[in-house]
Amino acid sequence: MSKLAAVRPAYWIAGILLALSVVVPLLVSTYAKDEPRLWGFPFFYWYQLMWVFVSAITVSISYRLVLGEERRRRAALGLDTGPESDRDAGRDAAAAKEAEK
């Protein structure tokens, strides 16, 4: 079995979303025009601005996909599952110190 087959779909989807957010705005031929205008702004300007918001959305979706996959992976391995576990571990350590006194 190859290593690529072991990669989870969440990572593939996140990678594709991030690649689209980078590659599409670099395709100058898609936005090198003046028309159509939106509220008086040439296509070039509002198209680029639109990709700022689209990229923020795709990065957010990718982050949530990877974070969810990491939590599932850590839970399957029996490791701590996140900040809640870290907080609980800190509380347990503090309680152990108090018990020693």
Q: What is the pLDDT of residue 1?
A: 47
Alpha helices (runs of H) in 27-82, residue ranges in sequence order:
43-77
pTM as predicted: 0.64
Query: Which element (helix H / strand E) includes 96?
Result: helix 83-100
Listed by start position, the domains of the chain span: 4-100
The pLDDT tens digits for 27-86 are 888 777 778 878 888 888 888 888 899 999 999 999 998 888 888 878 877 777 555 555
Position of tokens 């898609």? 30
Q: What is the pLDDT of residue 55?
A: 93
Q: What is the pLDDT of residue 31?
A: 75
Q: Any idea how long the chain is?
A: 101
The pLDDT tens digits for 73-98 are 788 777 775 555 555 555 666 666 66
CA 63, 68, 74: angle at the middle one, nearest 5? 125
The residue type at 95: A
